[in-house]
Amino acid sequence: MSVKSLEGIVLYKSILKGRNISAQLLLRNGQKVSILFYGGIGGGKKGKGGIVELGQMLNVTLKEKKNNRNDVFEAKEWSLVWYSKLIRQNHNAFYLLCFFLEVTSLTSTQFTHLDDSENISTFNLLSNTIFYLDKSLEKEHFSKEFFLLTYLGRLLQTTGIFPDIEHCLYCQSESVKNVCSFEIENGGFVCDKCSSSVKNDFIIINLLNYSQKSLKEMYQNLEDSQFPFKNIEYSIKQIFNYFLYQFHIEQAKIKSSIFVL
């Protein structure tokens, strides 16, 4: 069955010779696909504006393929489904957007076929985060820490690497909620009896626990000025380091991470 059209969020784009763009889109089924947009920069004879921009949701009608390869498609026509009015105007929010797109690109699978919906949560995670990021700018509640925490916490859930925040890794005791250290290499929290160097990492447990709420509920806290955490940069960095370790990714591979963490 040949694919005639696709809908997805632009994860990556690079400008090719002329006015052409090569872009990667995240589809609703959680898979990423590469598409060539001839004349994608806009302007030219048709005078069309360029809409292939990072974080924008596009609907793309494809040119018929001469072969059956699913690695690169060519766009025939494309239109904008959704875009953020405000993220581009705020450089902190824009770096965050780039960070979410880069992480999504690294953790999503390549396109195979259209009707596979097993990774719908990958799409929902990204699209909901961008939606609320835009809303927070509109209502002037933007908080970098809030979006990093809610995104990374839910990322650990959708990718299946959320650590046990109830028990000590070694003795299974529940005392980790009071005093513990986060052992990233071993994938969990360790109580004071089992660890020689106990740090006050229980704040990370509190953060991860909080991130299990629905995004809507957490966002309401932000709007009501009731987001319960402050000075959490170090803890968020540790959650990010845990993600990197579990996925065997070097931080340098996520270029925007130095601007947000």
- The minimum distance between CB 181 and Zn ion, in angstroms, equals 10
Residue 97 interacting with Zn ion (CB under 5 A): no
Number of residues that bind Zn ion (CB under 5 A): 5
From candidates 15, 80, 171, 258, binder to Zn ion by CB under 5 A: 171
User: Does the footprint of Zn ion cover residue 164 (CB under 5 A)?
Assistant: no
Please list every residue from 55 through 74 that binds Zn ion, using CB under 5 A: none
Binding residue for Zn ion, selected from 194, 215, 218, 236, defined by CB under 5 A: 194
In the complex with Zn ion, which residue's Cβ is closer, 70 or 173?
A: 173
Q: Measuring CA to CA, which residue among 160, 136, 33 is closest to residue 87?
A: 136
Q: Of the ranges 29-37, 50-58, 179-187, 194-202, which one interacts with Zn ion (CB under 5 A)?
A: 194-202
What is d(CA 102, CA 95) in angstroms, rounded to the nearest whole number?
Answer: 10
Give the residue carrying structure tokens 């106990």.
198
Which residues, in sequence order, are bridge partners of residue 181? 190
In whole angstroms, the minimum distance from the beta carbon of 157 to Zn ion comes to 24
Q: How far is the CB of 210 from Zn ion (least distance, A)?
A: 23
CA pair distance 190, 159, nearest whole angstrom = 22
**Quick one: which segment of 12-20, 115-123, 145-153, 185-193 binds Zn ion (CB under 5 A)?**
185-193
191 belongs to the binding site for Zn ion (CB under 5 A): yes
Least distance (Å) between residue 168 CB and Zn ion: 3
Compute the least distance from the CB of residue 243 to Zn ion, in Å.
24
Minimum CB distance to Zn ion smaller for 157 or for 175: 175
Q: Give the Cα separation of 190 and 183 in Å (integer).
A: 7
Least gap, CB of 153 to Zn ion (angstroms): 23
Q: How far apart are CA 245 and CA 261, in angstroms?
A: 16
- Contact call for residue 168 and Zn ion (CB under 5 A): yes
Pick the piece of the chain touching Zn ion (CB under 5 A) from 78-86, 116-124, 169-177, 215-223. Answer: 169-177
Kindly state the smallest distance separating residue 229's Cβ from Zn ion, in Å: 25
On the 0-12 / 13-18 / 19+ scale of CB atoms within 10 A, 19 is: middle
39: alpha, beta or left? (left if phi > 0; alpha if psi -120 to 50): left
Site for Zn ion, rule CB under 5 A: 168, 170-171, 191, 194
